[in-house]
Amino acid sequence: MACQGGSEITRLRINAMLSRIDHVGIAVRDLDEAIRIYERRLGLRSTGRERLEREGIEIAMIPIGESRIELIMPITPDSRVEKFLQDRGEAVHHVAYATDDVRASLEKAGAAGAQLLDEVARPGAHGTRIGFVHPKSVCGVLTEFVEADGHPGA
C-alpha cells in the first residue's frame, strides 16, 4: 500500500514551517516498565508523567536533544491507543513536528490532498495548539503538528 494521493497535490503555497521533530509517540503496555527500559537500556531520563483522562492515556516525557520520546499507555479500554496496541502491539504511534503555525500547517497539508483528523487547531498539553493528519495521507504515519505556547501566531 503506497502513500495515497500525492499526484493530486495542488500548487497552493501556504506559509507554514516545520522546524524540528517535537516528539515521537510510542504506544506501550506498561508505562513504569517502558520508562525503566528507556532509562536503563538507552540511558535517557523521564522528566515527568501526566494522565490525560479525556484521551484515556497516561504519558511519560523523555527529553532527547531538541525533541522528546513520549511513552503512551492507555488507561481506559476504549482509548484509541488501546485499539492501536491490540492491532499493532507496542510500536511508534505517531510523529509530531513543531510548527510556527499549526493552522497554516493543517491548511497546507489539506490543500495538498491530505486527510485531516483536525480541520482546525485544538488545545494540546501545556498550552500548545495541535492538529493531526491521518496516517494514510503521510505514508502510514499518524502525523501531529504542535505549536508552542506563547508563539506570536498562537
Chain contacts with a copy of itself (rule: CB under 8 A): 1-3, 6-7, 9, 16-21, 24, 26-30, 33-34, 36-38, 40-44, 64-67, 71, 88-92, 95, 97-98, 105, 108-109, 112-114, 133, 137-141, 143
CB of 51 to a copy of itself, least distance (A): 19
CB of 106 to a copy of itself, least distance (A): 10
CB atoms within 10 A of CB 102: 28
Q: Which is nearer to a copy of itself, 108 or 129 (CB)?
A: 108
CB of 40 to a copy of itself, least distance (A): 4
CB of 55 to a copy of itself, least distance (A): 19
